[in-house]
Structure 1
Amino acid sequence: MPTISASRQAPHQATLQNNRGLSLMQRGQPANAMQAFDAAISLDPTLTTATNNRRMALAMTGQYDAALAARCRTQSSRNA
């Protein structure tokens, strides 16, 4: 079986972590979901769905200011 480099596995693993986070959010566990989204973002910083989902989880835990600040950081990095 061929070996796949870690850099090629990372996007796939990031997607799996993002999906895990979505599952946790659906089960009413947004704090745990944020950990999965953080893992996804660290594996693939370009995975915008994980970033967006993390902001949603922040809002679900009542951390509205943090969710808004994260949105502003994302928009400013896109405009840079």
Structure 2
Amino acid sequence: MSMSTAQVTAFSTASGFSVQDSSALWLALVLLLALLWCVWVLWNGYRGWASGAVSFGTFGGVAARVLLAWLVLLFFTLS
């Protein structure tokens, strides 16, 4: 459902920026948080693999799942 002209005007007046700018900001924040989560998971997986607590196959599986989740999120948010 899209916003009416009156709603867009009211939003822009109250917030000081456009609806498109707000949407871009929220999208960027979601993608940034997801990227930070992916880096955190990969870093912890690497630390586990380097210390010998996690096998290389398990680390590879974790890396593949995280990268697949990142790509799916990018596809759905940027399409």
Shorter-chain TM-score tier: 0.3 to 0.5
Structure number, greater radius of gyration:
2
Greater share of residues in helix: 2
- After TM superposition, the score normalised by the length of structure 1 is 0.39
